[in-house]
Amino acid sequence: MSVPEVVMLATGVVGGAAALLVVTSRNVVHSALYLVVALLAVAGVFLVLGAEFVAWAQVLVYVGAVVVLLLFGLMLTRAPIGPTGQGNELGKAMPLAVALAVFAGLVALIVTSYGGEVIALEHVPPAALGEVLYVAWALPFMTLGFLLTLALIGAVVIARREEGEGPLPEPDPDEPEAAEASPPDSSSWPQRQPEPTPDEREVSA
């Protein structure tokens, strides 16, 4: 076994285990932290394969920005310490069966198609990547930039709080007793009541 193979196996095992923990962890924040490990392992695989620039881009974009954004979102919505009840239905047979079937199919396909294939590792300097990126791939690259700008604007538009859309509903001036009768629940973050679902509307009607 050569050095690259050992490194590849090690990163692969670590990354695979971390990925499994991402989807099985009962704590969402832990999931996000395991995702960091999995993505770093992916960067390691890139390094072994000789794609240095892609590896650092993976670290910069995924670990430095995407996971931080995910954690940020998690903490903004709800920052639970300890296991959370939401979305932790483990041991479902169906997803497990589907995932195993996908894995088995993919492995069978890989082994039959690329079983004997050997990669000749070569290091690609970032300069070479830059040359093809800005010459041969210039148009897709610019399109991508345009897409990113659109996504940025779209995200801002979606997440923006509209004028007058405060976290607390405006008290009705006609019914002062109602406002006094129901003091805000101090245990929960002040937020708008969820609208009744159509079923409830039908029942009340």
Partner 1 sequence: MAAVYPLIFAALLFSVGVYGLLSRRHAVLVLMSIELMLAAVTVNLVTFWAIAGDALLTGQVFALFVMAIGAAEIGVGLAIIMLIYRNRASVNIDDADLMKY
Partner 2 sequence: MATSVFALEPLWLALLLQALAALLLFLIGAVVVGYLEHKVLAHMQDRLGPMEAIWHGIGQLPADGLKFLQKEDIIPTAADRWVFALAPAVAVVPGVVVIAVLPFGPGLWLTDLDAGIFFALAASGVTVLGTLMAGWSSANKFSLMGGLRGAAQLISYELPLVLAAAAIVIQAGTLSLPGIVEAQHGFTLFGVPMIYGIPHIIGLGLFFVAALAELSRPPFDMPIADSELIAGHMTEYTGMRYAFFMLSEYAGMVILSALATVLFLGGWYPWPGVGLPEGAAGMVLGFVITFAKILVLSAIMVWLRATFPRMREDQLQRLSWSVLIPLGLLNIVLVATAKVWF
Position 173 contacts partner 2 (CB under 8 A): no
- What part of residues 113-172 is at the interface with partner 2 (CB under 8 A)? 125-127
Minimum distance, C-beta of residue 156 to partner 2, in the bound complex (Å): 10
Residue 56 interaction partner, one of partner 2, partner 1, none, beta carbon < 5-8 Å per kind:
partner 2
What six digits make up the tokens of 49?
Answer: 């394969």
Of 185, 195, 203, 205, the one binding partner 1 by CB under 8 A: 195
With tokens 């294939």, the residue in question is 117
12 lies in the binding site for partner 1 (CB under 8 A): yes
**Residue labelled with tokens 């995910």:** 70
Residue 21 binding partner 2, by CB under 8 A = no
What tokens appear for 19 in the block? 């990925």
Binding segment toward partner 2, per CB under 8 A, in 62-70, 107-115, 142-150, 177-185: 62-70
* The two three-digit tokens of residue 139, written as one number: 């148009």
Whether 22 contacts 13, CB under 8 Å: no
Q: Is 200 in the site for partner 1 (CB under 8 A)?
A: no
**Site for partner 1 contains 197 (CB under 8 A):** yes
Interacting residue with partner 1 among 61, 79, 142, 178 (CB under 8 A): 61
Residues 133, 141: contact at Cβ < 8 Å? yes
Dihedral sign, CA of 41, 42, 44, 45? positive
In angstroms, the CA 79 to CA 73 distance is: 9
Specify the residue for token string 């881009």.
57
Contacts of 193 (CB under 8 A, 6+ apart): 169
Question: Is residue 190 involved in binding partner 2 (CB under 8 A)?
Answer: no
Binding to partner 1 by CB under 8 A, coded x per residue (else -) over 111-150, reads x--xx-xxxxxx-x---xx--xx--xx--x---x--xx--
Residues that bind partner 2 (CB under 8 A): 27, 29-30, 33, 36, 52-53, 56-57, 59-60, 63-65, 67-69, 71-72, 75-76, 79, 81-82, 125-127
